[in-house]
Chains A and B, each alone.
Chain A
Amino acid sequence: MNFALTEEQQMVQDMARNFAEKEIAPYVEEDEENHYYRREILTKMGELGLLGWSIPEEYGGNGMGWMEGVIALYEIAKVHTSWRLSISGNCWGPAMTINEYGTPEQKEKYIPGLVSGEYVGSFAITEANSGSDVASMKMTAEDKGDHFVLNGSKMWISGGHTSDVGLVYAVTNPGAGAKGISCFIVDYNNTPGIERIPIHTKFGMWPAPTSELVFENAIIPKENLLGPLNGGFKICMWMLNNTRMGCATGAAALSAACLEGAVQYANERTQFGQPIGKFQMIQQQIAEMKLEDEAAKYLVYKAAWLKDNKLPSQQATSMAKLYACNAAVHAANLAMKIYGSYGYSTEYPCARWLRDAKQFETLEGTSNIHTMIVAGIELGYQPDR
């Protein structure tokens, strides 16, 4: 047991913190206000190797694993939660899944661009009427011999309208439920028949693009089927067990941002002749935030450690995601209280923290779903994998 970072991990943390402070922090307020996705941040991340975790070096991987990835993402997401999607959207989602299930040709064709930041990646599972119940999806992919034809629509897709390459899950054997879903690699720039509609009505995560994707007779070449036909559900669950780390890390980082802000404010703000941090009720709030923040961070580290060691990590990932999301919502709520009226003002970051925290209770498995996974594995109803 060793809680210290290695020399390399320390360098990764320092570098990512420095990068986030210089390349992301200056634009936070402007991009929030304009709901603006600053594409060049992803490009820079790619150039610096921040999108290449646990990917073979022959495809552009950075030679590092999960632990280093979460350490880096934590620093980035702490500065601006919207950017927590960067690593999931490119690396832990499409690149890693193609690396696991893809053919050598697919790997060679798509992974390097996702890892270098040349492409914006994405993955599309959710539909208007299919959320937690993934197997109930309606989008179809009809086998036409040398190609598939996709019809239907996907909803709430992160990076949907900015994406160059993404994974799309669709039904290839109607009526077979989880056994009738397949995964496809979609080249959005060269596939006619896909309408991508930006969604502007989100409560938070404003600079992170979200979209509805409408497929109308979109032709996907046969060679873009990822993994076995009708094997998509398993791929999807495997992928979510990875991409959820983006949520878990982003939520833990958000709780840390709230805590840091609240501590600074409590030390500076004076009432009744002393800093408000001297009052026990503020101390109670700070202590709760600190405890939950620390626990969330180490649950994330533990899940990353299990993944690096190729050990079952589903329960640990769900615990990290569930706990960190609760910590983030709680911390954002408390931070707003500690900041008083300033907390309610958009001049301060509390409103953004609270907006961004609420996503975590829904995205990539609602808190209910993660509670079920944790309990189901604990009770022996399902294996940990």
Chain B
Amino acid sequence: MNIVVVIKQTFDTEAKIVLKDGQIDPSGVSLVINPYDEFAIEEALRIQKKFGGEVTVVSCGGPRSQEAIRTALAMGCDKGVQIDETALESVDEYVRAEVLAKAISEMPYDIILGGRIAVDDRSSQVAVRLAEALNIPSVSSVVKLDIENNIATATREIDGGTEIIEVPLPAMITAQKGLNEPRYPTMPGIMKARKKELKVINPADLGVSDLSAKMKVQNYSLPTPRQGGKKIEGEPAEAARELARLLREEAKVL
């Protein structure tokens, strides 16, 4: 079974976000594989163990995204593909999905896995757009996945319960927390990763007809810092009255 995993490199979840000239400043920030994509990698390796085949990890990103691809290779994926975003004028979910679809359509695949959401922009769009572009079914937020006779049975979380969906392969599956426990790259795995193939693709060479972003970010802003608490002085009864007044008139929660 040929398995493709689409991953994104994101900020470490504990990284401090700094805005510089209105843009998010990535300098000095440690980057990681998007945690939900790690579930996808782990699932891919488990499917491979069961059915054989090759796991190819594909990422759309700048030069540093190669670190994320190498880590996936160290975890056990066989081949890596980086679609070099630096060659693009502007990038959005549409552009990413289009270039990914084009690149993946040229490789053999029976199943595509990805994270259900990227922890940075939280758009949850690329995977489903990719499925649409490839004209294959997709199931999102999967917590359990079984494959038999070319049919994937995916359990997904829905409001207040779970839903079980059967789809024929090839299909796109996005991983939710709980699907599995991602492995650590082993030391020999890290050594082997260096020797594995990591192909860099220039998106311009893919022959996508329209590479212009459909969405433009107007503005980034940081959450307003938390204000200090307010202490209400005075007698208890009087203070309680004042609290009720403030909750109603200032906080507007009553």
A64 and B71 contacting across the interface, CB-CB below 8 Å: no
Q: Does A48 contact B (CB under 8 A)?
A: yes
For B71, the closest partner residue in chain A by CB is A11
Q: Which residues in window 156-191 of B have CB below 8 A to A?
A: 184-191
Chain B minimum-CB-distance residue to A48: B186
Docked-complex contact B190 and A12, CB < 8 angstroms: yes
B73 nearest in chain A by CB position: A11
Interface residues in B3-62 by Cβ distance below 8 A to A read: 30, 32
Q: Does B127 contact A (CB under 8 A)?
A: no
Q: Is the CB of A11 within 8 A of B190?
A: yes
Residues in A1-37 with C-beta less than 8 Å from chain B: 7-8, 10-12, 14-15, 18-19
* Cβ-based interface call for B119 (8 A): no
Instruction: Identify which of B30, B70, B191, B194 contacts A62 (C-beta below 8 A).
Output: B191
**A87 CB, nearest partner CB in chain B, Å:** 12
Q: Please measure, in the bound complex, the distance between the C-alpha atom of A11 and the C-alpha atom of B31, giving whole angstroms.
A: 11
Closest CB in chain A relative to B10 CB, distance in Å: 14
Interface residues of B in 93-129 (CB under 8 A from A): none
Residues of A within 8 A of B194 (CB): 7-8
Is the Cβ of B188 less than 8 Å from the Cβ of A63? Answer: yes
Interface size class of B (residues with CB under 8 A): 10 to 19
Chain A residues 249-287 with CB under 8 Å of chain B are: none
Closest CB-CB distance, A102 to chain B, in whole Å? 22
Other-chain residue from A15, A57, A68 in contact with B185 (beta carbon distance below 8 A):
A15
Asked whether A50 and B70 contact (CB < 8 A) given A8-B194, A11-B193, the answer is no
Do B191 and A63 have beta carbons less than 8 Å apart? yes
Inter-chain contact B184/A15, CB cutoff 8 Å: yes
Compute how far the CA of A93 lies from the CA of B186 in the bound complex, rounded to whole angstroms. 22
The size bracket of the interface on A is: 20 to 34
Interface readout for A195-221 with B: 1 if CB under 8 Å, 0 if not?
Answer: 000000000000000000000000000
Contact of B187 among A7, A10, A18, A48 (CB under 8 A): A48
Q: Quick one: closest B residue to A7, CB to CB?
A: B70
Instruction: Give every chain B residue within 8 A of A8 (Cβ-Cβ).
Output: 190-191, 193-194
**Least CB distance, A24 to chain B, in whole angstroms:** 13
Main secondary structure of the interface of B (DSSP, over half): helix
Contact between chains at A64 and B187 (CB < 8 Å): yes
Question: What residues on A are CB-neighbors of B191 within 8 Å?
Answer: 8, 62-64
| A10 and B32 alpha carbons, distance in the complex (Å) | 12
CB of A152 within 8 Å of the partner chain: no
For B183, give the chain A residue with the smallest CB separation.
Answer: A48
Q: How far is the CA of A68 from the CA of B70 in the complex (A)?
A: 17
B74 lies within 8 A of chain A by Cβ: yes
Choose one: A7, A11, A62; the contact of B188 (CB below 8 Å): A62
Q: How far is the CB of B200 from chain A (nearest CB, A)?
A: 15
Judge whether A180 is part of the interface by a CB distance below 8 angstroms. no
| Bound-state Cα–Cα, A232 to B93, Å | 66
- Please name all residues of chain B whose beta carbon is closer than 8 Å to the beta carbon of A18 when the two chains form the complex: 184
Q: Is B197 an interface residue (CB 8 A)?
A: no
B242 in the interface (beta carbon within 8 A): no
CA–CA, A11 and B75, complex, Å: 11
Interface membership of A121, Cβ < 8 A: no
Q: Is A117 an interface residue (CB 8 A)?
A: no
B187 touching A68, Cβ below 8 Å: yes
A49 located at the interface, meaning its Cβ lies under 8 Å from any Cβ of chain B in the complex: yes
In Å, the complex CA distance between A10 and B67 comes to 9
Q: Which residues of A contact B184 (CB under 8 A)?
A: 15, 18-19, 48
- A133 contacts the other chain (Cβ, under 8 Å)? no
Cα distance, A63 to B32, chains bound together (Å)? 24
Q: Which residue of B lies closest to A52 (CB)?
A: B187
User: Would you call A49 and B188 a contact (CB within 8 A)?
Assistant: yes
Decide yes or no whether A47 CB sits under 8 A from chain B.
yes
Contact B70 A11 (CB under 8 A): yes
Interchain CA distance A57-B188 in the complex, whole Å:
9
Name the residue of chain A whose CB is nearest to the CB of B187: A49
A-B CB contact pairs (8 Å), 17 listed: A7-B70, A11-B74, A14-B30, A14-B32, A14-B71, A15-B185, A15-B187, A48-B186, A48-B187, A49-B187, A50-B187, A52-B187, A62-B191, A63-B188, A63-B191, A64-B187, A64-B191
Could you tell me which B residues sit within 8 Å of A by CB distance? 30, 32, 67, 70-71, 74, 184-191, 193-194
Extra contacts besides A63-B191, A68-B187 (13): CB < 8 Å = A7-B67, A8-B190, A10-B67, A11-B74, A14-B32, A15-B187, A18-B184, A48-B184, A49-B186, A50-B187, A62-B187, A62-B191, A64-B191
